[in-house]
Structures are given as structure tokens and as C-alpha cells.
């Protein structure tokens, strides 16, 4: 398989008062196109920080992140925003839905940002149909007019997944996406992610502390105290 994303020599630390706390201590990682990769580690191991660097949400102190052979961690803010909007999508443990919008409008937000108001307005009908199709695919056809506060945790996470897919990203980074869910709902979300990987060939990188979830991936790597084993 072709390499889609490559991480080399990644180091990241945070400052707390007079102290510097190293979190990532030299990470090398290849993500292959079309694979389902899980990164497993205990709380505090650095796995969320690694995913946030890969998703261009924070800068590394040292090292490089490349996407399709081009270094991206040192990109301009504008290019980082473009990559996050179109190519590298993320879902989180907390859903980050806008409470004043219904779930179709929440799903459409990345597309509105990508196109701008007038272009989006011109194509609004077809965009809404795509959003509805994605929500139907994640099992929310009966909730299209509901707002986030009218949904269960699992339904909010399914909405967040549909939102992450609206611009047809090449890679989906999932940061503990089932951390707030009960076991039955967790199983449904993981099944959905597997289906997206198998049928859409969507590249997925999932971080988790749960070995059962990690075991379902094509490949699993372990992060311990900021180092990949």
C-alpha cells in the first residue's frame, strides 16, 4: 500500500509553570492509504497529542509530518485550515456540535466553510441531499430535524462522523471516539468505522485505550510514555 501520511522524529512537550513536560519523545510512524490503524495507549501516554499533531491542530517541537510526500507540519495557517477542511478530518471523544443548529446544518458546516456563503448557497439543495444521505448511512434518517440536545451520545457521535465525511476526506483521525459511550453504542460506532474503511476505502487512524477496539484494526501500534513500541 502507498504511504498516505508519514511522521518522523516527532517530539512534543508542554510547559507548566517552570517545568517542561515531554509528551512525545521521537515518534516514527507510517500510515498507508486505505488501512485501518489503531494506536493504543494508557491515559497520559501521548496518543491524543500525537493525533492532534497529525491533524494539524498543534505544532511539534521537533520532527516532521508529511502528507502524500509533502511536509505539512510547517504549512501556513491558511494551508493547514484547507487540509483540515478537505483532506484530514477528525472526530473527537466530545462531539463539538453546534447546539443552535439541527443535525443536517451541523453536518454541512465544513462544506459551507470550504465553499464560502454564496457558492454554498448556489449548491445548497444538492449539498443538503448529500448531508441527508450521510446521516441516513450512519443510522439517523429519523433524526434529521433534531438538534444535538435532543440526541443520545451515540447519535451525537454518529452526527459528528457524518460531519467529518461531508467533504470526502482522504484520512479520518478518530480520538477516543467511543470514550463517552456505553458498550452497546460503542460497538455500533466501531462497526460503522469498519464499514467506512471497507466499503469506502477510507484511511482511518484511531487512538484508544481499549485493547478490544484496537484488536479490530488492520494494524495496531502501542504508545507508551511518548514512545511507539
Mean pLDDT in residue range 164-183: 89
Q: What is the mean pLDDT of the chain?
A: 92
Q: pLDDT of 87-99, one tens digit each?
A: 999 998 888 899 9
Question: Residue 18: what pLDDT?
Answer: 87
3-state DSSP helix/strand/coil percent for the chain, to nearest 5? 40, 30, 30
DSSP at 48: H
Mean pLDDT confidence for 8-36 = 93
Q: Kindly write down the DSSP assignment for every residue of 141-207, as one continuous string.
A: GGGTT--GGGS-HHHHHHHHHHHHHTT--SEEEEESTTTTS-HHHHHHHHHHHHHHHHHH--EEEEE
Q: Is the pLDDT reported for residue 118 higher than 90?
A: no
Contacts of 113 (CB under 8 A, 6+ apart): 85
Q: How far apart are CA 111 and CA 208, in angstroms?
A: 28
Q: Which residues contact 31 (CB under 8 A, 6 or more apart)?
A: 3, 4, 5, 6, 37, 171, 203, 205
Do 211 and 217 touch, CB atoms closer than 8 A? no
Tens of pLDDT, residue by residue over 201-226, are 999 999 998 888 888 899 999 999 99
Q: Percent of the chain having pLDDT more than 70?
A: 100
Report pTM: 0.92
- Which pLDDT value is given to residue 92? 87
- Percent of all residues in the chain with a pLDDT value above 90, rounded to a whole number: 69
- Sketch the domain layout of the chain as residue ranges: 97-168
pLDDT at 229: 83
- Residue 59 is predicted with a pLDDT of 94
Give the span between the Cα atoms of 191 and 51, in whole angstroms.
21
Amino acid at each position: 500500500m502507498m504511504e498516505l501520511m508519514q511522521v518522523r522524529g516527532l517530539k512534543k512537550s508542554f510547559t507548566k509553570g517552570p517545568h517542561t513536560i515531554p509528551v512525545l519523545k521521537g515518534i516514527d510512524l507510517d500510515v498507508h492509504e486505505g488501512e485501518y490503524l489503531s494506536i493504543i495507549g494508557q491515559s497520559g501516554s501521548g496518543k491524543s497529542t500525537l493525533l492532534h499533531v497529525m491533524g494539524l491542530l498543534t505544532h511539534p517541537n521537533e520532527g516532521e509530518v508529511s502528507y502524500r510526500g509533502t511536509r505539512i507540519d510547517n504549512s501556513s495557517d491558511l494551508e493547514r485550515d484547507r487540509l483540515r477542511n478537505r483532506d484530514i478530518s477528525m472526530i473527537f471523544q466530545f462531539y463539538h456540535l453546534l447546539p443552535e443548529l439541527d443535525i443536517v446544518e451541523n453536518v454541512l458546516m465544513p462544506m459551507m466553510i470550504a465553499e464560502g456563503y454564496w457558492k454554498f448557497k448556489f449548491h445548497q439543495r444538492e449539498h443538503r441531499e448529500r448531508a441527508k444521505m450521510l446521516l441516513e448511512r450512519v443510522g439517523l434518517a429519523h433524526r434529521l430535524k433534531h438538534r444535538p440536545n435532543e440526541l443520545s451520545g451515540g447519535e451525537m457521535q454518529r452526527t459528528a462522523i457524518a460531519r467529518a465525511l461531508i467533504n470526502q476526506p482522504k484520512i479520518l483521525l478518530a480520538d477516543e471516539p467511543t470514550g463517552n459511550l456505553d458498550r452497546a453504542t460503542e460497538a455500533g460506532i466501531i462497526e460503522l468505522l469498519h464499514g467506512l474503511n471497507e466499503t469506502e476505502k477510507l484511511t482511518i487512524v484511531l487512538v484508544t485505550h481499549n485493547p478490544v477496539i484496537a484488536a479490530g484494526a488492520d494494524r495496531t501500534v502501542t504508545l507508551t510514555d511518548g514512545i511507539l513500541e
